[in-house]
Chains A and B, each alone.
Chain A
Amino acid sequence: MFSTGTTYFLILVIVYILLVWGALIPFRAGLLYNGTVYCMAIGGYVAGFLSKNFDLPFIVCVLAAILVGLILGFIPALGFARTNGIVTAISSMALIFILESVIRNLDFLGGSTGMTGIHKENHLLLWAVILLIIFGVFLYRLNNSRIGRAWEAIQTDPQMAQSLGVNTFWMTVAALTLSSVFSATAGAVYAFNMRVLYPGTFSFTFLLNIMTMLFVGGRYTQWGAIISCPLLWSISVFMPTSIQKLSNYIYAVILILILMLRPEGIVTRRMTNKVKNFFTAKLSRRRQGAKA
């Protein structure tokens, strides 16, 4: 349907959207979690390993990646749920360095030279879109559920949330674990898209890309990612080479300006409420019209 370049671009955008959602869920519980890249590397390497050595189909690899990501995200989450604020942000960043060092030392994962020979999946874009829709609907339902409201309470004031009967510890663990599921899925799709994985890819720069997309798009709603990911990623793909060289500058400058001037990001909670009101108001007017 699309040319190879466009398909590649679209799949990477979907990967980024999933990752930003992965960073958004802990943020709803008031935590800045930098472990998304860690879980993404886990998902990518699990999917790649299964596809390369056991020749399993795409969806089995994704499910396995989700399972392993869930388990390996759950264990550090038990620790991070005890911390808050800057401490979580920094100590989860350390996870990235630990995992990178571990992958470099494991020969069956390709070590420093990288993992090659991941099988080609012909309908990857279709699969990616299906996964995006499933996760998007799931996240939307979750945001408006009991758990989502509990997270929002924790974000506003942890002590108030506790006094209202929210179990902050397990809610935070749940947020971090769900975040790792999103990131592991993104990693699996990424592995099948690139078909070669280097430990150096999952690094600090990658984390900054995700953070930029999260903060520029708006970190209180899930819709910000859908706008900011294509916008920012196209800077480093479609622009002429002379500008591409400056893409890191552009990312950093956009991030700094947004943080200084528009704290909630492009898509704010107010904006989504307005859109919601616009549609619901129209609907109710129509209903009234039908009655009359």
Chain B
Amino acid sequence: MESFIAQLINGLSTGGIYALIVLGMNLLMLVRNIVHHSFSHICVLNMCIGWLAFGYTQNVLLAFLAMFACGVLVTVATEPLFRPLSKRGADLETIVLAMGVGIIITEIIAQLFNNGQMMTFSDEMRVLNVGFSFGTVTFSLANIVALVACIVVAVFLVWYLFKTANGRAMRAMAQNLRVAKMLGVPFGKTGVLGFGIAGLLSACIGIICIMCLGYANAEMGDTFATKAVILMLFAGQGDIKGGILSSILMGVVEAMALAYLPGRWTEAIFYGFIMIVIIIKPNGLFAKKAAN
């Protein structure tokens, strides 16, 4: 029973990380109607920048600040790449373009940081990774923080999208780009703003990953990216609540499968299950109305 609860908490925190990535991608989906496949690559790049900054300065706060700066800068820097495509309405090509960006970031991590070796973070950077025991169950505080952060960020995003003028502009652009432009929504400014918020989110994800996982390498980006994009489709594109629910659910399922199933087939089951659901419900599990 203790191990079951520990696995449950573990799965919930993994699901929280997935949910944050899916949230970021959903935001970009709303802003520019793109699938930013390389969003999780940027998160991993942030972790690497944090590792580098900590190595130079030995100061946790400065390292985190560097991560925020990197996240915002890199994410906003990708915006001009997508602009001609989203103006053209070529949504299929954006995913290929994002894959190209992802490959560049993966190569940068593999060749420039720590000679492609796995980077492990010191205990000073993993501030919140404190053992916590509740009866006989022990778990790390970072896991709880991941889950809480996911909920807080989601609430903030929903508030931002539904209660502020900029958020309304983003939703208008997601619905119909041409009409939104006609009504005076600034195409460039709103997009950069959305990408900037996604960049802040990517830095948060980097920090939470440092606390929960404690290591980073080049392959992490690809693994996270595929899982996050598939989970996004699983819930339905641009569906924020569905994205969070399905991510947390799949995080738990994955943790349970790793713990209790013979480990060799986990991946095939995970992807196979999601693929069948996507094929049966192409608009997502939580889609309310069918597309015409």
Q: Do A and B associate with each other? A: yes
Q: Which residues of A contact B (CB under 8 A)?
A: 32, 79-80, 82-87, 89-91, 93-95, 97-98, 100-102, 104-105, 204-205, 208, 211-212, 215, 245, 248-249, 251-253, 255-256, 259-261, 263
Please name the residue on chain B nearest to A78 by beta carbon.
B279
Let me know if A260 and B272 touch, CB within 8 A: no
User: Which residues of B, 255-292, contact A by the 8 Å Cβ criterion?
Assistant: 264-265, 267-268, 271-272, 274-276, 278-279, 282
Let me know if B279 and A91 touch, CB within 8 A: yes
Q: Which residues of B contact A (CB under 8 A)?
A: 35, 81, 84-85, 88, 90-93, 95-97, 99-101, 103-104, 107, 111, 222, 226, 229-230, 233, 237, 264-265, 267-268, 271-272, 274-276, 278-279, 282
Let me know if B100 and A255 touch, CB within 8 A: yes
Most B CB contacts (10 A, CB to CB) among A82, A86, A93, A100 go to A86
Question: Smallest Cβ distance from A161 to chain B, in angstroms?
Answer: 15
Let me know if B81 and A260 touch, CB within 8 A: yes
Let me know if B95 and A97 touch, CB within 8 A: no
Whether A256 touches B101, Cβ cut-off 8 Å, given contacts A101-B268, A104-B264, is yes
Please name the residue on chain A nearest to B34 by beta carbon.
A86
Question: Smallest Cβ distance from B223 to chain A, in angstroms?
Answer: 10
Let me know if A260 and B101 touch, CB within 8 A: no
CA distance A83 to B236 in the complex (A): 13
Let me know if B85 and A259 touch, CB within 8 A: yes
Residues of B within 8 A of A252 (CB): 100-101, 103-104, 107
Whether A251 touches B103, Cβ cut-off 8 Å, given contacts A80-B279, A87-B282, is yes
CA distance A95 to B278 in the complex (A): 12
CA distance A259 to B274 in the complex (A): 30
- Identify 14 new A-B residue pairs, CB closer than 8 A, beyond the known A87-B233, A205-B103, A263-B88: A32-B95, A86-B95, A87-B282, A97-B267, A101-B265, A204-B226, A208-B99, A212-B100, A245-B111, A248-B103, A253-B104, A255-B100, A260-B81, A263-B93
